Structure 1
Amino acid sequence: MTNLQLITSELIRHLERLSGNAKEIHWMTAFTMKSGVQKVLPFLKAASNQGSSIKLLTGDYLYITQPEALELLLKELPEAEIRLWKSGGASFHPKAYLFRGTENQHHLIVGSSNLSKSALTSGVEWNLLAPSQADDQAFEEAEDQFLKLFYHDSTISLNPETLAEYKQNHREANRQRPFSMAWSAEEETEMMLGPGEAQEIAEGGVDYETKSASAEPLQPRPAQQMALDALEATMDEEYDRAMVVLATGLGKTYLAAFFARKFKRVLFIAHREEILRQAKQSFMHVHSEKTAGFFNAAVKETEADFVFASVYTLGSRHNMERFSPDDFDLIVVDEFHHAAAPTYERVIEYFRPKFLLGITATPDRMDNKDVYAICGGNVAISIHFLEAIERGWLSPFRYYGVYDDTDYSQITWRGTRYDEEELLAMHLREDFAQKIFEGYMEHRQTRTIVFCSSVRQATFMNDYFRRQGIRSMVLHGTTPAEERRKATARLESGELEAIFTVDLFNEGVDIPKVDTLLFIRPTESLTIYTQQIGRGLRLADGKSHCTIIDFIGNYRNADVKLTVFDETGEYGEKRGRFAEPAVPEVCEFNLDLQVINLLKEMARKRAPRKDALIAAYFDLKRELGRRPEYLDFHLLADADSKAVKQEFGSYFGMLAHARELREEELQVWETYKDWFIEVEKTGMNKSYKMVVLLYMLSRGPENWTDPITPQEAAPFFHRYLTEKEYRRRADLSDKTGRRLIEYDEKRTADLIAKMPMTKWSGSEKEGKVLFEENRFSVQLPQPSGEQTVLLHGWTAQIADYRLHEYFERKTR
């Protein structure tokens, strides 16, 4: 950047001028005040009306940001994307204003001004304005970093639900510590707070599988060959997208490289630079004759055979449109569970490849989006780490569940995690460190990764271990990349015995010789927990097994976390019990007696599981800004929707338990509870029952329970099952089904009468579902008024959910 300009007053004039010519407006301020919003709204609204893309990020640190400011933004800028950084008590202090202009004229302002009247006009502020031309690296890097923060796990979308929650938290915070209440439009003096811990944007490490290319042509490993065969079959069936789930350590990046032999041009997308570097190495080992380039904040190599792109850089409309939608034959999205972010969605919607491949070790919906829908509901193959261990592809483990007597019930739960300061008060104690050290010394092997809850905890524990003579160090998101690479090499060589880290070794990092994992943090995400376990399961010379030392207390998810070790069924469903995980014979599972008693008590109460489902519901409600429907919950919530009917009988039973139903809705639930549970739980070897019910519902709230004949339902039934390829494959592929592909009313009606109508009426014992004299009906008390609409709508929600879940399971 050149021609830097120092702005010491009236920043508002520059923001207004630059907004008038900007295609994209990206602002990030620690604090946002109503007075500041009032100043910028006129020209932001004008920019929005002209089609500018607006993203605004602000923070909740110390609850200084005013709810009235957020409310005004939400009301007056409906097209803008606004997110709130959930600081959890850690410092959040950025102030940056980015403008991507027309004709490749861009501007970046970085300085001291928050979004308040005084900061934008007459306050004592220093800001630097830096104009840039196309592809200016500093501007591109700034935008890349902005998007990483904007879509970080610590942010939430601003909507009516999250605004209401912020208002409540703001009120409570200011009763105890009335900072923000002192701010007014008339007299605003900026409160500048000292730097705290840096926020962690964790990056991956080095890939030790990709050291140097061999002269011998690389051949797929057995797991990779199985996956390639599955993808081949998927393409033969004319699918154009699929997901592959390979446990960590089975070489999913190399799988993608081998699969790429079928395609001319490939776009590989990931969210971390180190994953992209590793992927390029892997691809070039397999395709030494091809050209490869990066597309990120630093470089824009668009003509290579293989382009390795940062999703944050590619997600900008300006950058994405450098490519034609059909430029690539194959698109690979790594760590496909991250496909949740709106950035990924825009990229996936823009391009039209011959095939889209998602690869991941953990398909759980940690990002609150439907991964399966993005890949057309088609999971080509899924190999769980337990299966890989049984086949000898990954290292066995010995698990030690060690009792942690910390009383986590005394720590405030902040919706998605424990209050950081309260948790630290419990953990930053010598007696806690001593207990951890004793457990470590009893079970450890030679090379250990220690997973901590915060940088301060990692630093504290590292200091304690070093005083006991352990060769250890701390790595976290702000550690320079080169230092991280050196540290992992030192651990690999044995020079270091342990590395303390915070969410840094979750994905994209392979250190095969790691033989001990130590968990000293509450488990908040089963996906992350699974990723972390995978860090120790790589095979290595001289390594007989991986030791997992897991400190278990009465924290949330403690009784659920062990399901990651459960035996899995045909479709990936869990079959084990919480306190009695099923593991391969080659592994050992050891729990302290106190841990066994704790887990049995938690499993007996089962409240944590109910709490987890309800917490996931409220998280999703905040994300959507409205009450989620049943299918929304299945597709978007960070929870297993199958647990809903196990715990509550029905989705609407869960809403009743969560006190989410109005009085009229509660009456509907109590009156028709048995019917809703019947629709939830009736057996479905085929989709036919729900398809017939869907036809009945299509007649509207007033008439849907009226009797129907099989002949009436036949056209709808046939059209529904044949209009989508995945439905035909799932339910019309056997001998009987194939005869129905060409429409024949008598054959279709005979099938409906014989199967869904007869079987459902025969299995339902309460007389609600009848099939008599060739007429099928649902017998329910007659509703009135709003109850009519609710009964119809809720039944439709259950039917939609069950059909989606059924076909999703079948395609897997």
Structure 2
Amino acid sequence: MSNVQLITYGLGEHLQKAIEQSDSIYILTSFVMDSGVNLLAPSLRTACERGAEVKLLAGDYLHVTQPKALARLIDIHPDIEVRLWQSNGQSFHPKAYLFQQKDGNTFVVGSSNLSSSALVSGVEWNVIVNDEISDTFENALTEFMQLFYHEQTVPVNHETIKVYEQSYHSYHQQYPNLIRNWTETEEADMMLPVEEKKKQPEVIVEPSGTYGTIHPRPAQHEALEALFNTYEEGYHKAMVVMATGLGKTYLAGFFAERFARVLFIAHREELLHQAKASFQTIMPERTGGLYYRYEKTTDTDFVFASVYTLSMEKHLHRFRSDDFDLIIVDEFHHAAATTYQRVIDYFQPKFLLGITATPDRMDQKDVYALCDGNVAYQLHFIEAIQKGWLTPFRYFGVYDETDYSGITWLGKKYDQQELLAVQLRKEYAENILQAWLKHKQTRTLCFCSSIGQANFLADFFQKKGYQTISLHSKTIGVSRSEAIKQLNEGVLDVIFTVDLFNEGVDIPSVDTLLFVRPTESLTIFTQQVGRGLRLHAEKEYCAIIDLIGNYRNADIKLSLFQLEPGEQKKKAAAVATVPVNCELHLETEVINLLEELAKKRQPRKEALKQAYLKVKQELGRRPTYLELHLRGTEPSKTYYQEFKSYAGFLYWANELTEREQEAFRKYECWLVEVERTGMVKSYKMVVLLYMLQRGQEHWADPVTPQEVAPFFHHYLTETEYRKRIDFSDKSSKQMWDYDEKKVSKLIADMPMTKWSGSSKGLISFEDGQFIIHLDIDEQDQEILYEWTKEICEYRLHQYFERKAETS
């Protein structure tokens, strides 16, 4: 039974009582005032001290949230987790308090934000629901977690508070009366109608049929072999990167056959249902269950769990840390690393497998960090086409004369209303129609930027005599499965859609893709292209019709059709290369536009700084060199290319203290030497790593080959199996079995002698001693030690990561 109570005054006392009794506390508020934090801080601190989970999400809309309130929140206790919703001008107005207790749950929703007036003396209406368990409460928890780790949120720490404080003061200088009148502003500008309750997602699974024994396809066979080798070599984590359409979920199922208990994690519930069906097709004799908002199965062989549900303390601790032999993380490039890291850090499986199609640095943090940079298998969709595992394409870049330069950019996307205003024009729709008629085949999937655009184009095409449907989250009367059936049967010519077919749902018969939206994300564009590349008996190739205008990131989208990594991805479209059985056609206006856009892109050094600042804000501190490599959106080698060392970049970016700046100027030559010295093999850095392990006072002391030998041999043969690739040439094969004389001779002949000869006097190897010629002031010892250690660890990781990708 539920107990419902209306509170019109003094909500704060009720919240304090609920906090004192709860194991999990989730607060969702449109803004936070220092007075409100001050009121709840003692209760929240006590809750954290007894081990309760506390999460709070606030918004930055109209910059009402006070920076000092955020600072006070994170100072309450180290375990409290606070995130800030970056509204980018869109209304953010929720107020909800969720409490999980041993004997039931409490759910508060109403008008009270986190301010003293709202919680103590103001006229507010709030409803408190006390209930043992209900679908509504479970839905609220799931919705909270999805908002909490949404891509529009950032962790609140001292770094992100500094950034927010700048925009806060700038905004209030422009609108000086806002704080005084914030209550009136709320009522006039921030209230929106309650959005309709989200429907339970429709699950579309391919018909199971009778297949007999299921066997891996060629791409899956190659990946499986690589995975099994990786597992047998002693690795505990790995990632597989496979293009859309090659069967990543079935691959995971085939790999899971060797493990007794498996946890499959995804960010969308639809993916969980599909994975469960795929695993049961492969292993009908094994049991599988779902763990998400509507179902909580814990005792099956395979558990398919929503990351948002599982990352809650209450649900995470329903499992033992060693409950699963294998954990599979699906499409983890979509979710915030923090969400997954909470789960990954808790469990101790024999193996962790990440599967994805699009781990692209240009869009988000590098997902390689979740698997320690170990890529067991990687297959770009261009390679898959060359092997005949995916359908060839013919790409048509069509010029869109729409001027996007006047549309407000909200950080990650265009303002939807301004964008829609330029899209809802007959001449714009006519240009799309003519491009489609010129290049289309039989079954078309069109990707739109909004429901309004999809409805408009579907109606426009219908009036021209074509059978279409606008299919999106609010479509009534026709399900996705029915629409897919009609497209397959030729009843429909085009499905106009908004983000429904980015992943998880395939229509192999689709032979035409139509893009009528600005490409804001290379990852999403990659996934959408993949929708048309599945093999089908009636499909010779997939026509990709792409309207290209002067929108942001237009000049990098054709990097998708290149195999070359790094800087090649940023060249103009005119140099894009495609397989011999594919075609790429660009209108002259498109080529000119893309080349012009490429010239105007953010200067390289500023791009590096912005990528660095994103990682810094995510971590709440200055990242190490290795963290920047693993999490940054720019290739780490470009920091060396531009600044000769990571410390050099920090010096340029004014990220060093005065003491560090002085140390950098004194020891720059050494830092550059450690960064630039060649590494045909890992040996130099292994020697340096040994020296660093002697501590900051003695790391630069002379060392002999005999002293390094035991560490050197152990590191390359036992610490990580695949490091043995450095002992594979004829001159070093005898090093497999430890022999101090042989290993010492190898160290003397190679890293010590070679580094001495190339270091321009900074290093010498004389009379059996390896000497670094540095005169280190006592006050600089810690700084130089840490910088040297960062470079060494980064270079070793990068070296073996690169070796693993090419081996």
| Other-structure match for 2:93 | 93
| Other-structure match for 2:217 | 221
Matched residue type, 1:18: A
SS in 2 for 1:130: strand
| Other-structure match for 1:388 | 384
Q: Which residues in structure 2 correspond to 1:710-729 (within 5 Å)?
A: 710-722=705-717, 724-726=719-721, 728-729=723-724
Cα offsets for 1:579-613 (capped at 9, x unmatched): 41232111111223333334445556774555443
Is 1:641 aligned with 2:630? no
Cα offsets for 1:238-270 (capped at 9, x unmatched): 434432222110111112222233233332221
| Other-structure match for 2:618 | 623
| Other-structure match for 2:794 | 801
SS in 2 for 1:399: strand
| Other-structure match for 1:581 | 576
Separation (CA, whole Å) in 1 of partners of 2:188 and 2:50 = 35
* 788-797 or 118-127, larger mean C-alpha shift: 788-797
Q: State the shift of 1:342 in Å.
A: 2.9
SS in 2 for 1:289: coil
Is 1:156 aligned with 2:154? yes
CA contact (8 A) 1:92 1:199 kept: no
Q: State the shift of 1:673 in Å.
A: 5.4
Q: Cα gap change, 1:548/1:749 in structure 2, threshold over 3 Å: closer, same or farther?
A: same
Matched residue type, 2:559: T
Separation (CA, whole Å) in 2 of partners of 1:760 and 1:204 = 60
Separation (CA, whole Å) in 2 of partners of 1:703 and 1:201 = 62
CA contact (8 A) 2:394 2:544 kept: yes
SS in 1 for 2:612: helix
CA contact (8 A) 1:329 1:354 kept: yes
| Other-structure match for 1:330 | 326
Q: Which residues in structure 2 correspond to 1:203-352 (within 5 Å)?
A: 210-338=206-334, 340-352=336-348
* 402-411 or 24-33, larger mean C-alpha shift: 402-411
| Other-structure match for 1:613 | 608
Matched residue type, 2:190: L
CA contact (8 A) 1:223 1:250 kept: yes
Separation (CA, whole Å) in 2 of partners of 1:204 and 1:678 = 56
Separation (CA, whole Å) in 1 of partners of 2:113 and 2:273 = 36
Q: Cα gap change, 1:278/1:165 in structure 2, threshold over 3 Å: closer, same or farther?
A: same
Separation (CA, whole Å) in 1 of partners of 2:418 and 2:666 = 44
CA contact (8 A) 1:91 1:197 kept: no
Gaps of 5+ in 2: none
Matched residue type, 2:47: A
Q: Cα gap change, 1:603/1:459 in structure 2, threshold over 3 Å: closer, same or farther?
A: same
Is 1:687 aligned with 2:682? yes
Separation (CA, whole Å) in 2 of partners of 1:795 and 1:407 = 49
Match of 1:632 among 627, 631, 636: 627
Separation (CA, whole Å) in 1 of partners of 2:69 and 2:356 = 40
SS in 2 for 1:27: strand
CA contact (8 A) 1:174 1:180 kept: yes
Separation (CA, whole Å) in 2 of partners of 1:23 and 1:148 = 20
Q: State the shift of 1:497 in Å.
A: 3.4
Q: State the shift of 1:770 in Å.
A: 4.2
Q: State the shift of 1:498 in Å.
A: 3.5
Q: State the shift of 1:396 in Å.
A: 0.8
CA contact (8 A) 1:206 1:509 kept: no
Q: Cα gap change, 1:332/1:413 in structure 2, threshold over 3 Å: closer, same or farther?
A: same
CA contact (8 A) 2:240 2:378 kept: yes
Matched residue type, 1:793: E
| Other-structure match for 1:363 | 359
Is 1:128 aligned with 2:127? yes
Separation (CA, whole Å) in 1 of partners of 2:393 and 2:596 = 26
Matched residue type, 1:618: L
Separation (CA, whole Å) in 1 of partners of 2:609 and 2:343 = 32
Matched residue type, 2:68: E
Cα offsets for 1:115-161 (capped at 9, x unmatched): 2233223433332222222x533222221121111111111111122
| Other-structure match for 2:169 | 171
Q: State the shift of 1:763 in Å.
A: 4.5
Q: Cα gap change, 1:125/1:592 in structure 2, threshold over 3 Å: closer, same or farther?
A: same
Q: Cα gap change, 1:747/1:196 in structure 2, threshold over 3 Å: closer, same or farther?
A: farther
Separation (CA, whole Å) in 1 of partners of 2:135 and 2:2 = 12
Matched residue type, 1:811: A
Q: Give the alignment's Cα RMSD to 1 decimal.
A: 3.6
Q: State the shift of 1:311 in Å.
A: 1.9
| Other-structure match for 2:746 | 751
Separation (CA, whole Å) in 2 of partners of 1:305 and 1:788 = 53
Q: State the shift of 1:278 in Å.
A: 0.9
Q: Cα gap change, 1:712/1:352 in structure 2, threshold over 3 Å: closer, same or farther?
A: closer
Q: Which residues in structure 2 correspond to 1:476-625 (within 5 Å)?
A: 476=472, 483-568=479-564, 578-579=572-573, 580-601=575-596, 607=602, 610-625=605-620
Matched residue type, 1:105: G
Separation (CA, whole Å) in 1 of partners of 2:709 and 2:615 = 38
Matched residue type, 1:268: F
Separation (CA, whole Å) in 2 of partners of 1:726 and 1:5 = 62
* 635-644 or 417-426, larger mean C-alpha shift: 417-426
SS in 1 for 2:58: strand
Matched residue type, 1:643: T
Cα offsets for 1:618-640 (capped at 9, x unmatched): 21122122222211111112333
Q: State the shift of 1:329 in Å.
A: 3.4
CA contact (8 A) 1:415 1:615 kept: no
Q: Cα gap change, 1:5/1:250 in structure 2, threshold over 3 Å: closer, same or farther?
A: same
Gaps of 5+ in 1: none
CA contact (8 A) 1:340 1:371 kept: no
- Give the alignment's TM-score, normalised by structure 2: 0.89
Q: Cα gap change, 1:355/1:423 in structure 2, threshold over 3 Å: closer, same or farther?
A: same
CA contact (8 A) 1:199 1:477 kept: no
Separation (CA, whole Å) in 2 of partners of 1:179 and 1:545 = 61
Matched residue type, 2:384: A
Q: State the shift of 1:291 in Å.
A: 2.8
Separation (CA, whole Å) in 2 of partners of 1:2 and 1:721 = 62
Q: State the shift of 1:415 in Å.
A: 4.6
| Other-structure match for 2:43 | 43
SS in 1 for 2:270: helix
CA contact (8 A) 2:321 2:346 kept: yes
Separation (CA, whole Å) in 1 of partners of 2:440 and 2:176 = 48
Cα offsets for 1:160-213 (capped at 9, x unmatched): 22222222222333444557422479x9986673427969999987656x3123
Q: Cα gap change, 1:630/1:440 in structure 2, threshold over 3 Å: closer, same or farther?
A: farther
Q: State the shift of 1:791 in Å.
A: 4.5
CA contact (8 A) 1:119 1:190 kept: no
Matched residue type, 1:45: R
CA contact (8 A) 1:3 1:131 kept: yes
Separation (CA, whole Å) in 2 of partners of 1:760 and 1:776 = 10
Separation (CA, whole Å) in 2 of partners of 1:168 and 1:188 = 21
Q: State the shift of 1:658 in Å.
A: 4.1
CA contact (8 A) 2:369 2:631 kept: no
Matched residue type, 1:392: G
Pairs aligned (count): 804
| Other-structure match for 2:192 | 195
Matched residue type, 1:293: G
SS in 2 for 1:107: strand
Q: State the shift of 1:712 in Å.
A: 4.2
Matched residue type, 2:786: G
Q: State the shift of 1:803 in Å.
A: 0.9
| Other-structure match for 1:118 | 117
Q: Cα gap change, 1:166/1:710 in structure 2, threshold over 3 Å: closer, same or farther?
A: same
| Other-structure match for 1:810 | 803
Matched residue type, 2:788: T
Cα offsets for 1:775-803 (capped at 9, x unmatched): 444557x6768666544433332222111
Matched residue type, 1:193: M
Q: State the shift of 1:408 in Å.
A: 5.4
Q: State the shift of 1:432 in Å.
A: 4.8
Separation (CA, whole Å) in 1 of partners of 2:415 and 2:725 = 46
Q: State the shift of 1:61 in Å.
A: 2.2
